[in-house]
Amino acid sequence: MNLNGWMLVLLQSALFVLLSPLLTGWLKWWKCHLQNRQAPPMTQPYYDLWKLFGKQALLSKNTSFIFRVTPYMISGVTLLAASIIPLILVRVPSAASADVIVLVGFFALARFFQALAGMDTGTAFGGMGASREMTVSALAEPAMLMAVFTLSMVAHSTNLSSVIESILSQGLVLRPSLLFTFFGLLLVALAETGRIPVDNPSTHLELTMIHEAMILEYSGRMLALIEWTSMTKLMIYAVLIVNIFFPWGISQRLDFANILFAFMAVCGKLMVLTLVLAISETVLAKMRFFRIPVFLSLAFTLSLLGLLSHIILEI
Amino acid sequence: MHQIVLVAVLVLLASALIALVDSQSPRFFRPLHFITMGLAGILLSVGGAYGLIQSQDHHWQLALGLPWLHWHQHLDTLSSFFTLIVGLATVAVAFYAPAYAKEYDKTPQPFAALGFPTAIFIAAMELVLLADDALTFMIAWELMSLSSYFLVTFQHQNSANRRAGFLYLLMAHVGGLFILLSFGIMAGFAQDFTFSSMMASHLSPVWMTLTFVFALIGFGMKAGLVPIHIWLPEAHPVAPSHISALMSGVMLKIAVYGFIRVVFHLIGDIFWEWGAALLIVAAITALYGVLSAMIQEDIKKLLAYSSIENIGIIFIGLALSLIFFGNNLPKLGGLALVAALLHALNHAMFKSLLFLGAGAVIQSSHEHDMDRMGGILKKMPWTGALFLLGCISISGLPPSNGFVSEWLIFQTSLQAEALSSGVLRAMIPLSAAVLALTGALAATCFVKLYGIAFLGKARVRSVKHIKEVDRGMIVAQAILGLICLLIGFFPTFVIEAINHISLQIMHVGLSQATSHGWMWLTPISAKTAQYNAPQVWLGLLLAFSGWAFVYFLVRLKHKHRRAKVSPWSCGFGPLNSRMQYTGASFTMPVKQIFGGLWQHNEDKSLVARNGLTEHAHTLRYKESNKDSFWILFYLPIVNLLNQATRRIGIIQTGHLRHYLGYSFFTLLFLLWLIS
Amino acid sequence: MHLISLPIEEQAILLLAGMVLFTSFILLAQPRIVSTIHSFAWQGILLALVTVLVAYDTGLHHLYISALITFLMKGLFIPWLLHRLIHKMEFQREKDIIHHPALVLLAGGFLVIFCYSTALPIAKMSNSVTQPIIGLSMAMVMLGMLMLITRRKAVSQVIGFMAMENGLFFAAISATHGMPMVVELGIAFDVFVASIIFGIFFFHIKNSFDSLDVDQMSKLSEIDR
């Protein structure tokens, strides 16, 4: 089991990295069609990344080693985060070494370096992006951890594999706590991945940017890595939500037929979730920055309600 | 082996005496002073580590003090642990101080005014840890406060420093009074001053609670719990930087030690209500500390408020421990205690590192305000890299040591479902959510500090030409950084050692924490939560090198070198360094969202040229922040005291006959009493 | 009592109870007046659903009638009345000013914990499926009162009052499985009359102050300031 398990970890991480541009392409395809526009092919993000890798990377004169190291740092951390999430097999060996709080910490580490890289450029945009991004993430953190706590109280563990296993073993149970936690995590995921209504990922106006302003100075292969990382981050959050709240289909044994079926199942679930995301991005508008705390306090209230329903109603 | 610690104290006293005679021959005595200080630090570290790992418990008496009341001293695991902290910090300071103190040779004060109190300060802290009866404890505590007062007011030419020192001395004594009261209650029931008889005595619940309250106020005042924290952000920035490191990194932990000793060991029983009240105080402390840290512009004041935040986190762990012990869940109580102690060790290490780094920056740039710095990383690469390590650790990011202790506290609060009270089961996750918020805000705060001070362009011309500091100062920071890394790499060893404290004092241990081998940290059980620090480090390294490999492949294919160009300026022309974000602008969103917590004054004025404001050339912006607790809590007390003293002052009339009359009437009254 | 061991209709009762509590929170923080009315309507409909499920589970058929009355009054009629009123006064685009919505929501959370702990001794005496809901319904009453305190527009305050009454109804369902039919009809009629009277008052307030902001009513003070 051991060697096969670690091969599967490698396979899962590779799947995360290789399939995330396709997920983004699928999202963009649906957004365009919903908005009555001509859509690029779904493999367009791959072409974009290839193009960026081929371009020369430019460095701003004011930067130090932090600017140069950050793209590799955050891709490394995101890859590590991707390796501990059960994508197609519940009991991956890597999931045992880090639990869901460590996962939140990984994203915090990536964001720390990205904000520092933004400030390293010595421009006003970098500082603006760093300031806004850190504020939004600081406010999203209690909501996310409250959702994590509720989950771990339901599953009696913070280990991702144990959580999924316990939810699978319970069968169809109408849990109010999981319902509220699901919606709370959805809102938090919107804030953390920088989608509408928190941040518009395709904006060109610098003063409306949150995430893009931090990476404004990056070009060439460094920008390619950073773009790839944000696509992987979106896929990580999507997989986390579908596999924890709708885990049916994931394989519990390491044999080929189950793995293949699990792969199809998770692809199907991801396509549905991304479609919902595309619809919400079309229907909602980006909020003013100072309305984001209200949005995140709504997410916190949902998670808090999840916890309270667990304590009051379920025990 | 406990004699090593006593020898270390004697070496420190010798170091103090050497500092006194320093002016005779500085070239000989100055290095000797620091060498003896470093030696004492090494002895303390070795003695502390040995005592902790071997679970020692020695008691002895010294023939000092009053003839019928000798000094009782002991060295058990709790004292050894904090001795280790004192020792490690002393070693670092001994490397740092020679180059740093050269700066103060230009001031009129002699070196003895700095060196003598420093050595006495460290010796006094160690004596507090060794004390086994209340009298010895209070004598050592007083010595600690006095010597640090002289250190805080070292540069007394500045009146702000004198005020800060006075405030510090006042609050240290008020706190000492409360500690004395709590010892007094216990001594009253025990008929004796020694700790062992206090442990054996039985108090009623009311008296126990009163002792707890006095100990909380007394030790909390020294540790920096809100609202009795006001001396901390005044005194720490004013002292020389290595003293700030000692005060923030070590002295606050001595207060934590005192609290643990009194509440967990001496009082006897533990009531969970104490823990619930402490949890609320600690959560407010943590949140207020980090929010106040965010709005500071002075580097050292920011670090001081961040210490308040971390003390809040330590006390959250202690409160959880009290709640679990009070509810008859000793294993979880032990876990919370271990988590709190680990965070105390971690904070001592990375806060000292940060203060030493800040001192290095201040020494080379002669600026305190981070808005006047910028681009320091390129000029001071070693200090910058080590400071970055400190920032990562204090923000609680994996896989650093700060993350491990915060992870442990989260895991402990998640076990709240074992409690029977529904209210506690809801309040503990809520306090964990507050802890999460403070952790995220701390990361924001240190991104601001590092980004504004070290990255970007220098905002003031004088900062453009600074140089890296002396080797000794870098070695000191590297020592602390290495310790942080080691704790992050191998947390299981450290936790196993700290476990001995819980075993010895509360008679319950976490056998399961390291039961799956040295790599796996499983605080409750393997099924509940696991963390494998070496594997995470290895994974991070592999992932990083994986992507670096991709980079090299791409580099080989495309021969493009990276070019250095000017940054994007929207086509408007060259950007200057004043266009960068300042600290105030970075925290503007937080100030808007959490506004109302501080007394925030902004002063914007257009400075006109030739009297015409339409063509003003300069916009002046001045910002000042004041701690809200000044106005809410301290000023009313001060006003009340002033009014009361004014009333009492009426009896001081200045007439001789009135004073004679006072003596006369007192004599008559006493005569009547006797008859 | 563990959720997993309950049959599906009892799980559905608890799930819907959680959703009713969520609508209380929405009422606290929603600034748009029309959306507040819609949330209140949803609260009524969810309440009616819970009552139907409790009636099905316990076999008490008079609860079906209670559910019907709740659905018609709280779910359809009163929201329709308020809706019509708002449109007549051309208030539909107004927004209520809520200071610090995050703090209000947090206070709501603390209220829920407090009410749950206060109702624990009572809840321990009952052993029906609705035992956890007793504390929840008390919390709904308190949240309605919190809405009365923190809102400024008169319409929101009326909805807060109605939400309090919803909470009382919910408490009756959960603690004693319904009230006597006479009491039930009496309360329903009282609420009906109250809503009509509130409508008349809204017109008068609007005519006097040209706004429905209740803080403006401090102008009525006789003390010269």
- List the beta bridge partners of residue B410: none
**Of B627, B593, B624, B598, which Cα lies nearest the Cα of B227?**
B627
Six token digits for residue B257: 């030690």
pLDDT at position B95: 94
User: According to the per-residue pLDDT averaged within each range, which of A58-62, A218-222, B417-421, C39-43 is highest?
Assistant: C39-43
Partner residue opposite A297 with nearest CB, options C18, C22, C105 = C105
Q: B touches which chains (3+ CB pairs under 8 A)?
A: A, C
Residue B31's contacts (CB-CB under 8 Å, 6 or more residues apart) are B98
Helix (H, G, I), strand (E, B) or coil at B1: coil
Per-residue pLDDT, C43: 94
Using alpha carbons, list the distances in angstroms from residue B578 to A122, B371, B446: 10, 10, 21
Those of residues 161-200 in A touching chain B at CB distance below 8 A are 162
Nearby residues of C33 by Cβ (< 8 Å), 6 or more positions away: C86, C91, C92, C94, C95, C96, C153, C155, C156
What per-residue confidence (pLDDT) applies to B281?
95
Inter-residue contact B312 to B252 (CB < 8 Å): no
> With 70 as the cut, is the pLDDT of residue C176 above it?
yes
Count of domains for chain C: 1
User: Residue A249 — very low, low, confident or very high, per pLDDT cuts 50/70/90?
Assistant: confident
For residues B620 and B164, which has the higher predicted lDDT (pLDDT)?
B164
Question: What was the pLDDT predicted at B152?
Answer: 93
Evaluate whether B311 touches B646 at the Cβ level (below 8 Å). no
Which chains does A contact via 3+ CB–CB distances below 8 A?
B, C
CA distance C10 to chain B (A): 22
* Yes or no, beta carbons of B432 and A109 under 8 Å apart: no
Q: What is the predicted pLDDT for the residue at A27?
A: 94
Is residue C128 a part of any domain in this protein? yes
CB contacts, 8 Å: C115 with chain A = none
Using the beta-carbon criterion (under 8 Å), do B422 and C116 form an inter-chain contact? yes
Three-state SS sequence of C4-35: HHCCHHHHHHHHHHHHHHHHHHHHHHCCEHHH
Mean pLDDT for all residues in chain B = 88
pLDDT at B615 over 70: no
Instruction: Give the mean pLDDT of chain C.
Output: 85
Give yes or no for a contact between B265 and B285, defined as CB atoms under 8 angstroms apart. Answer: no
Per-residue pLDDT tens over the stretch B237-292: 999 999 999 999 999 999 999 999 999 988 878 899 999 999 999 999 999 999 99
**Shortest CB distance from A297 goes to which of C2, C14, C102?**
C102
Q: Using pLDDT thresholds of 50, 70 and 90, give the confidence band for residue B613.
A: low
Bin A186: left if φ > 0, else alpha if -120 < ψ < 50, else beta. Answer: alpha
Smallest Cα distance from A175 to chain C, Å: 6
Query: Three-state SS string across A26-64, please?
Result: HHHHHHHHHCCCCCCCCCHHHHHHHHHHHCCCEEECCCC
Band of the pLDDT at B3, cuts 50, 70, 90? Answer: confident
- Is the pLDDT at C1 greater than 70? The verdict is no
pLDDT band, residue B560 (cuts 50/70/90):
low
A:162-221 residues touching chain C, CB 8 A cutoff: 170, 172-177, 179-180
The alpha-carbon gap from A85 to the nearest alpha carbon of chain C, in Å, equals 27
For residue A98, pLDDT over 80 is answered with: no
Domain, as residue range, for C34 = 7-218
Residue B468's pLDDT is 85
CA neighbor of A93 nearest in space, from A2, A10, A174, A194: A2
Q: Which of A49, A87, A71, A235 is nearest to B544 (CA)?
A: A71
The ipTM estimated for the assembled molecules is 0.94
Residue range B205-229: average pLDDT? 93
Q: Which of C176, C175, C171, C105 is nearest to C138 (CA)?
A: C171
Helix (H, G, I), strand (E, B) or coil at B545: helix
Is the Cβ–Cβ distance between B223 and B252 less than 8 Å? yes
User: How far is the C-alpha of B74 from the C-alpha of B58, rounded, in Å?
Assistant: 5
* In contact, A181 and A188? CB cutoff 8 Å: no
**Residue C172's CB: how many other CB atoms inside 10 A?**
19
pLDDT-based confidence at B561, cuts 50/70/90? Answer: low
Structure confidence by residue, pLDDT tens digits, C70-112: 899 888 988 998 888 888 888 777 787 788 888 899 899 999 9
Neighbour-count burial for B303-325, b at 16+ CB within 10 Å, e otherwise = bbbbbbbbbbbbbbbbbbbbbbb
Length of chain A: 315
* Residue C165 counted as domain residue: yes
- Rounded to a whole number of angstroms, the distance between the first and last alpha carbons of chain A is 37
Nearest to A293 among C2, C102, C135 (CB): C102
Give the pLDDT confidence score for residue B609 in this predicted structure: 64
State yes or no: pLDDT of A255 exceeds 90: no
Please tell me if residue A252 touches chain B, with a CB cutoff of 8 Å. Answer: no
Residue with tokens 């080929």: A256
Residue C8, pLDDT > 90, answer: no
- Whether the pLDDT of residue B524 is over 90: the answer is no
| pLDDT at residue number B202 | 84
* Chains with 3 or more CB pairs under 8 A to chain C: A, B
Closest partner residue to A313 among C18, C29, C113, by Cβ?
C18
Residues in chain C within 8 Å Cβ distance of A173: 3-4, 11
Kindly list the domain boundaries of chain A, sorted by start residue: 2-141+155-169+204-276
Spatial distance between the Cα atoms of B286 and B305, rounded to a whole number of angstroms: 9
Mean pLDDT of C159-175: 88
Q: Check pLDDT > 70 for residue C45.
A: yes
Helix B422-454 to helix B299-326 angle, to the nearest 10 degrees? 160
CA angle A186, A190, A192 (to 5 degrees): 110
Place of tokens 């980006």: A286
Contact C109 B430 (CB under 8 A): yes
Q: What is the pLDDT of residue A277?
A: 94
Alpha-carbon distance values, B568 to A121, B408, B583 (Å)? 9, 44, 22
Q: Do A298 and C29 touch (CB under 8 A)?
A: yes
Q: What pLDDT does B190 receive?
A: 85
What share of chain A in percent tops pLDDT 70? 99
CA B517 – CA A96 distance, rounded (Å): 14
A34: closest CA of chain B, how far (Å)? 33
Strand partners, B604: B621
**Helical segments of chain C, H only:** 8-29, 33-58, 62-70, 78-88, 101-125, 133-150, 154-176, 181-209
Taking the C-alpha atoms of residue B14 and residue B43, their distance in angstroms, rounded to an integer, is 14
* Pairing verdict, β B531-532 and B563-565: unpaired
- The residues, ordered by sequence, that sit 6+ positions from B362 with a Cβ below 8 Å of its Cβ are B241, B299, B300, B368
Q: Tell me: cis bond preceding A142? Omega within 30 of 0 counts.
A: no
The whole-number average pLDDT for the span C166-184 is 83
pLDDT, tens digit, 9 for 90 and up, residues B390-448: 999 999 998 899 999 999 999 999 888 888 887 888 889 999 999 999 999 999 999 99
Contacts 24+ apart (CB under 8 A), B536-542: B536/A80, B536/A97, B536/A98, B536/A102, B536/B398, B536/B399, B537/B399, B537/B488, B537/B489, B539/A80, B539/A83, B539/A94, B539/A97, B540/A76, B540/A77, B540/A80, B540/B399
Percent of chain B with pLDDT over 90: 49
Contacting B residues, span 425-444, partner chain C, CB-CB under 8 Å: 426-427, 430
Do strands A58-60 and B563-565 pair parallel, antiparallel, or not at all (unpaired)?
A: parallel
Q: Tell me the C-alpha distance between B89 and B75, whole Å.
A: 19
Angstrom distance (rounded) from CA B373 to CA C166? 60
- The Cα-based distances of B651 to A1, B615, B661, B668 in angstroms read 90, 63, 11, 19
Alpha-carbon distance values, A42 to A47, A264, A270, B509, C97 (Å) = 10, 18, 15, 57, 45
Cα dihedral across residues C146, C149, C153, C158: positive or negative: positive
| Mean of all residue pLDDT scores within chain A | 90
Can you give B98-131 as a three-state secondary structure string? HHHHHHHHHCCCCCHHHHHHHHHHHHHHHHHHHE
**What is the tens place of the pLDDT at every residue in B573-609?**
777 888 888 888 899 899 888 877 777 777 777 766 6
* Greatest extent of chain B over all pairs of C-alpha atoms, in Å: 110
Interchain pair A105, B398: CB under 8 A: yes
Higher pLDDT pick, B485 / B564:
B485
**Residue C214: band (very low, low, confident or very high) from pLDDT cuts 50, 70, 90:** confident
Instruction: Supply the Cα-derived Rg of chain C in whole angstroms.
Output: 18
Q: Tell me what pLDDT residue B625 has.
A: 77
A60 in reach of chain B (CB within 8 A): yes
Kindly state whether A135 is in contact with chain B, defined as any CB-CB distance less than 8 angstroms.
yes
| A179: amino acid identity, one letter | L
- Give the least confident one: A61-75, B553-567, C7-21: B553-567
Hey, is the C-beta of B423 within 8 angstroms of any chain C C-beta?
A: yes
| Nearest-by-Cβ selection for B543 from A59, A79, A101 | A79
Tell me the C-alpha to C-alpha distance, in Å, between residue B149 and each of B112, B114, B130, B217: 15, 11, 22, 20
Contacts 24+ apart (CB under 8 A), B192-199: B193/B69, B193/B133, B193/B134, B193/B135, B194/B72, B194/B132, B194/B133, B194/B134, B195/B72, B195/B74, B195/B132, B195/B133, B195/B134, B195/B261, B195/B265, B195/B266, B196/B59, B196/B132, B198/B134, B198/B266, B199/B265, B199/B266, B199/B268
The reply to whether B287 touches chain C by the CB within 8 Å rule is: no
The pLDDT, as a whole number, for residue B559 is 65
Domain ranges for chain B, please list them: 270-529, 630-674
Higher pLDDT, A170 or A26: A26
Q: Which residues of B touch C120 (CB under 8 A)?
A: 422
Closest-CA residue to C99 (of C62, C138, C150): C150
Nearest to B566 among A61, A116, A152 (CB): A61
User: Helix, strand, or coil here: A14?
Assistant: helix
> Model confidence at B110, in pLDDT bands (50, 70, 90)?
confident
Q: What is the largest CA-CA distance in chain A?
A: 60
3-state helix, strand, coil split of chain B in percent (to 5) is 75, 5, 20
Residues of chain A neighbouring C15 (CB-CB closer than 8 A): 174-176, 179
Three-class DSSP category at B597: coil
What is the predicted pLDDT for the residue at B610? 64
CA distance C24 to C30: 10
**pLDDT attached to residue B177:** 96
d(CA A47, CA A37): 20
The mean pLDDT of A288-292, rounded to a whole number, is 90
Q: Does the beta carbon of C105 lie under 8 angstroms from any beta carbon of chain A?
A: yes
Residues linked to residue B61 through DSSP beta bridges, in sequence order: B72
